[in-house]
């Protein structure tokens, strides 16, 4: 993968508003706390986010969409699409004097600066421009720049915080980031686990249509059911996709990647089970064979 390394302010003259895509921003909870050290590589940042939120003026198309999506949910899908296609930046402990593009090797490890998530767990700090890094950690902070989808894939297991310390930022937990990347959330159901399934009162029509198209076109899919799930043990709500097929879960997930990116707009993650057993009729909305009522 191609990556550019540099320090903020090294090649550009850096110019210096609270809303978040998914509710109240965590910035006011974490901005005056030191950024947490990188737990994997053990390298602490040398700067801390500022105690007040600096003015936010959009510097690129992605930031314009971020501002729009913060007040208009219909814009979130467009923002996420553009974000995955655009370049994102991640702050690093080491600052580079030169700006250059290079290819990371498969075995190469990159240390990233972390910030506390709303629950206090350290997550990678990701940014939409060099200015946002300066706002969070100060001028001279090192960073890497690469394709958004690639960078988010690198931190998907722990989640990420976009523009921490900024007026417009988003925190994604690991399962939420999976949805953004078009991946289902893997679940293992134990015999003692309780799950309540039913037809959602408000149907997520765009998500249902996006799931039905590839599922109904794949001959190896015998049945598919979509439901609203409640996990009492976790007191958690989620969408639940039950697919009956000889395909592997990885193949089903890859087939539904574009559809799964829409789950972020619904406010719920999507849990998926894939089985080839002759089980009883599923619960919720039947997607395959296509329901006629």
Q: What is the pLDDT of residues 209-252, one digit of tens each?
A: 999 999 999 999 999 999 999 988 878 888 999 999 999 988 99
What is the predicted pLDDT for the residue at 14? 29
User: What is the DSSP secondary-structure string of 237-266?
Assistant: EEEEEEEEESS-HHHHHHHTHHHHTTHHHH
Number of domains in the chain: 2
| pLDDT for 25 beyond 80 | no
| pLDDT for 49 beyond 50 | no
Tell me if the bond preceding 289 is cis, omega within 30° of 0: yes
Instruction: Let me know: does 247 contact 274? Beta carbons within 8 Å.
Output: yes
Q: What predicted TM-score, i.e. pTM, was given to this entire model?
A: 0.60
| pLDDT for 281 beyond 90 | no
β-pairing, 19-20 vs 168-172, is: parallel
The position carrying tokens 């986010």 is: 49
Q: Is residue 293 part of a domain?
A: no
**Whether residue 106 is found in the same domain as residue 22:** yes
Q: What is the CATH classification number for the domain harbouring 197?
A: 3.30.300
Please report which confidence band the pLDDT of residue 268 belongs to, taking 50, 70 and 90 as the band edges: confident
**Whether residue 140 is found in the same domain as residue 248:** no
| Residue 60: domain span | 2-180
What is the predicted pLDDT for the residue at 229? 92
Please report which confidence band the pLDDT of residue 195 belongs to, taking 50, 70 and 90 as the band edges: confident
What is the predicted pLDDT for the residue at 257? 87
**Whether residue 24 is found in the same domain as residue 169:** yes
Instruction: Let me know: does 128 contact 171? Beta carbons within 8 Å.
Output: no
- The predicted model gives 183-196 an average pLDDT of 69
**Whether residue 170 is found in the same domain as residue 249:** no
Q: How far apart are the first and last CA of the chain?
A: 48
**Whether residue 215 is found in the same domain as residue 73:** no
Please report which confidence band the pLDDT of residue 192 belongs to, taking 50, 70 and 90 as the band edges: low
**Whether residue 168 is found in the same domain as residue 196:** no
3-state SS class at 48: coil
Q: Is residue 239 part of a domain?
A: yes
């Amino acid at each position: 993968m191609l990556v550019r390394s540099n320090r903020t302010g090294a090649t550009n003259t850096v110019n210096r508003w609270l809303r978040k895509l998914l509710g109240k921003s965590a910035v006011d909870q974490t901005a005056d706390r030191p950024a947490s050290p990188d737990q994997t590589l053990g390298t602490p940042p040398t700067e801390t986010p500022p105690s007040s939120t600096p003015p936010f003026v959009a510097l690129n198309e992605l930031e314009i969409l971020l501002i729009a999506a913060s007040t208009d949910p219909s814009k979130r899908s467009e923002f996420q699409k553009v974000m995955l296609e655009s370049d994102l930046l991640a702050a690093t402990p080491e600052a580079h004097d030169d700006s250059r593009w290079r290819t990371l090797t498969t075995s190469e490890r990159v240390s990233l600066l972390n910030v506390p998530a709303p629950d206090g767990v350290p997550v990678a700090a990701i940014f939409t421009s060099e200015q946002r890094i300066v706002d969070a950690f100060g001028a001279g902070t090192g960073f890497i720049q690469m394709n958004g989808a690639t960078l988010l894939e690198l931190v998907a297991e722990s989640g990420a915080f976009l523009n921490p310390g900024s007026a417009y930022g988003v925190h994604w937990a690991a399962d939420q980031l999976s949805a953004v990347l078009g991946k289902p959330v893997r679940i293992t159901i134990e015999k003692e686990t309780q799950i309540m399934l039913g037809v959602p009162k408000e149907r997520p029509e765009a998500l249902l249509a996006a799931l039905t198209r590839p599922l109904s076109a794949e001959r190896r899919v015998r049945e598919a059911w979509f439901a609203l799930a409640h996990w009492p043990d976790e007191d958690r709500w989620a969408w639940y996709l039950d697919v009956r097929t000889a395909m592997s879960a990885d193949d089903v997930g890859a087939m539904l990647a574009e559809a799964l990116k829409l789950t972020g707009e619904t406010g719920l993650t999507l849990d998926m089970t894939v089985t080839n057993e002759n089980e009883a009729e599923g619960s919720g909305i039947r997607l395959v064979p296509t329901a006629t009522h």
